[in-house]
């Protein structure tokens, strides 16, 4: 430690403060702290010593002590902008985010163009998910400092969260104009290009990062995602493997390697690695602590009660509730917890003793298992996939819908062209009705099974009076199931309706993007999960036109076959 100068009289405090500040700037925090405290012993109200000592406490990861010193300084000098700003940083360290915002706002009231206060306030608002306020904050930073790289990058991240990918890319590319080899900006650029359907360009961004830093596991992970979008699945899996080798605890890369393995038909590896979904920071499948052991497939079930709980989407719940029957055959009493909209339609799943909607009180049970972990527990491979849960709509419910639809000798075709607009894959799986309606041909009766109809699709529906609109009368999945039962065929994009129709044994044609969800696998027009499904795949990403053409041809064939059978009868 460097020698600490001695200042025996109070008149030397200015020199002492200057010396302490110089030590502070050199990073000699311990030496500077000694001097600040000496000054405050003789002059407790020395404002500069108070706030600079507070800054050292913050730098030494002691935010509570820092805040007390900042407050002491501000009690003497309420107009001290730097103290309000640094106090906000200390409050952030204590996760007192609302108080941090207020501290930054006090600084900005005194100095409206203070760039650090503007940026920090916007960053905290982003943490609080007050996204539009945060965006306005980053815009204010850029008005004051147009080439502020940190604000440009944060603005890009925020616009990505808001789904405004093109604007996010513009902000990111402004960052790269300032710093072309910024690894963070290159990764952000690659993600956005991939999301915008330009995965080939996104791949170049990730490759550049790997060139700059061969050990960058995140770049290898995102590189795998881009390769999957390009249909290069074996290369994608290799990229995931490299990411996991560099960082074995990289939960997202482990999970995505598992999903890629499942897509490629490697169920043994796939199910095991898919368990990493529970270790992600941003979990799509949160772990739940029930205070009882989890069932892994080896524990005896005879005479015991097991809870099967939902994790993710409605389609996942419909797909994997099929395992209840096998558990019951092993002597288990099965409780099934599902999303509330599915409770009525899944009430009769074979093997289920009782069904609970999420949020309702749970009865006592001995074991539990997440629904999507059941294939791992059962060691499911392509040859041992259980039959779908044999779902049925109530006869009276079906009869009521048939009365509403009226008599018609033509084949009835149920249509679903889009899913949940907030789904992460919505852009690649949903099709505007104006395009989807190209499949329609004469000789069939069409019924919309959509529950969410977007504004542009409402306008398109007006131009397609042959499509009967039932969305206003669909109250829950029991209505959807009854409508499906009244159909001869369901044509749908990849939504929960595909799973419901497949589980009901209804002929269902499913339109898939070139890079489909793992469960539909690759290079096949059937599904081992749903024997009545027929898959229509994009030949390349974004090409719905050829898919719709093939579906229309198949529909024309179906109608003509029905007409021939009717004439023969």
pLDDT tens readout for residues 252-297: 999 999 999 999 999 999 999 999 999 887 766 667 889 999 999 9
Most confident range (mean pLDDT) of 74-83, 390-399, 531-540 is 531-540
Contact 308, 368 (CB under 8 A): yes
Residue 9: the pLDDT is 54
Q: What share of the chain is helix, strand, coil (3-state, %, to 5)?
A: 55, 10, 35
pLDDT tens readout for residues 13-70: 677 777 777 877 877 778 777 777 877 777 788 887 778 777 878 888 888 988 888 8
* pLDDT range class, residue 2, cuts 50, 70, 90: very low
Contact 378, 323 (CB under 8 A): yes
How far is the C-alpha of 254 from the C-alpha of 267, rounded, in Å? Answer: 14
Domain boundaries, the chain: 181-287, 305-378, 395-568
How far is the C-alpha of 249 from the C-alpha of 80, rounded, in Å? Answer: 45
Residue listed under structure tokens 């419901």? 500
Comparing CA positions, the residue from 391, 396, 399, 423 lying closest to residue 500 is: 391
Is the fold of 305-378 the same as that of 395-568?
A: yes
- What pTM, to 2 d.p., does this model score? 0.84
Q: Tokens for 101?
A: 């915002």
pLDDT at 237 over 80: yes
Residue listed under structure tokens 């940026």? 119
3-class DSSP string for 412-476: EEEEECCCCCCCCCHHHHCCCHHHHHHHCCCCCEEEECCCCCCHHHHHHHHCCCCEEECHHHCCC
Q: What are phi and psi of 348, to 5 degrees?
A: -105, 20
- Strand 305-309 and strand 367-370: the pairing is parallel
The CATH number given to 395-568 is 3.40.50.2000
Burial (CB count within 10 angstroms: exposed 0-12, middle 13-18, buried 19+), residue 294: middle
pLDDT tens readout for residues 76-118: 899 999 899 988 999 999 999 999 999 999 999 999 999 999 9
Domain topology for 305-378: Rossmann fold (3.40.50)
Residue 39: the pLDDT is 76
Contact 542, 516 (CB under 8 A): no
The DSSP string of 59-111 is HTT-HHHHHHHHHHHHHH-TT-HHHHHHHHHHHHHTT-HHHHHHHHHHHHHH-
**DSSP helix/strand/coil, 335:** strand
- Strand 412-416 and strand 305-309: the pairing is unpaired
Domain topology for 181-287: 1.25.40
């Amino acid at each position: 430690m460097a020698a600490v100068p001695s200042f025996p009289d109070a008149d030397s405090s200015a020199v002492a403060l200057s010396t302490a500040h110089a030590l502070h700037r050199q990073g000699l925090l311990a030496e500077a702290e000694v001097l600040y405290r000496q000054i405050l012993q003789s002059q407790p109200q020395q404002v500069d010593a108070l706030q600079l000592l507070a800054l050292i406490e913050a730098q030494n990861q002691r935010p509570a002590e820092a805040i007390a010193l900042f407050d002491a300084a501000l009690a003497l000098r309420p107009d001290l902008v730097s103290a309000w700003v640094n106090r906000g940083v200390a409050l952030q360290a204590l996760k007192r985010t609302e108080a941090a915002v207020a501290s930054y706002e006090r600084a900005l009231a005194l100095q409206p163009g203070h760039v650090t206060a503007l940026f920090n306030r916007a960053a905290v608002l982003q943490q609080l998910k007050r996204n539009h306020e945060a965006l306005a904050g980053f815009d204010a930073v850029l008005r004051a400092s147009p080439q502020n790289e940190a604000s440009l990058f944060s603005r890009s991240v925020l616009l990505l969260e808001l789904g405004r990918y093109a604007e996010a890319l513009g902000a990111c590319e402004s960052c790269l104009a300032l710093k072309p080899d910024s690894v963070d900006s290159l990764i952000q650029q690659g993600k956005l290009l991939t999301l915008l359907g330009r995965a080939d360009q996104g791949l170049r961004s990730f490759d550049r990062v790997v060139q700059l830093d061969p050990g960058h596991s995140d770049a290898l992970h995102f590189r795998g995602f881009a390769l999957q979008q390009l249909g290069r699945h074996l290369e994608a899996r290799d990229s995931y493997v490299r990411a996991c080798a560099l960082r074995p605890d990289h939960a997202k890369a482990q999970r995505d390697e598992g999903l890629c393995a499942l897509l490629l038909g490697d169920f043994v590896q796939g199910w095991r690695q898919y368990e990493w979904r529970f270790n992600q920071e941003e979990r799509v499948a949160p772990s739940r602590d029930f205070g009882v052991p989890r069932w892994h497939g080896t524990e005896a079930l005879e005479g015991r009660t097991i809870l099967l709980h939902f994790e993710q989407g409605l389609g996942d719940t419909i797909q994997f509730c099929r395992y209840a029957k096998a558990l019951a055959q092993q002597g288990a009493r099965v409780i099934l917890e599902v999303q509330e909209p599915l409770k009525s339609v899944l009430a009769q799943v074979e093997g289920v003793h009782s069904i609970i909607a999420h949020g309702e009180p749970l009865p006592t049970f001995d074991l539990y298992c997440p629904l999507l972990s059941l294939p791992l527990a059962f060691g499911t491979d392509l040859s041992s996939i259980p039959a779908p849960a044999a779902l049925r709509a109530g006869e009276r419910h079906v009869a009521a819908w048939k009365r509403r639809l009226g008599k018609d000798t033509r084949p009835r075709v149920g249509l679903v062209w889009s899913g949940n607009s907030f789904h992460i894959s919505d852009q690649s799986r949903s099709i505007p009705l104006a395009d989807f309606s190209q499949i329609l041909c004469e000789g069939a009766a069409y019924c919309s099974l959509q529950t969410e109809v977007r504004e542009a699709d409402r306008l398109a529906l007006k131009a397609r009076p042959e499509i009967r609109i039932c969305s206003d009368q669909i109250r829950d999945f029991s209505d959807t199931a009854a409508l499906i039962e009244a159909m001869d065929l369901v044509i749908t994009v990849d939504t929960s309706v595909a799973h419901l129709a497949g589980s009901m044994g209804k002929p269902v044609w499913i339109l898939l993007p070139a890079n489909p969800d793992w469960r539909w696998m690759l290079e096949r027009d059937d599904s081992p999960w749903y024997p009545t499904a027929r898959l229509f795949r994009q030949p390349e990403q974004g090409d719905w036109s050829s898919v719709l053409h093939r579906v229309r041809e198949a529909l024309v064939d179906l109608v003509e076959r029905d007409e021939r059978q009717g004439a023969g009868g």
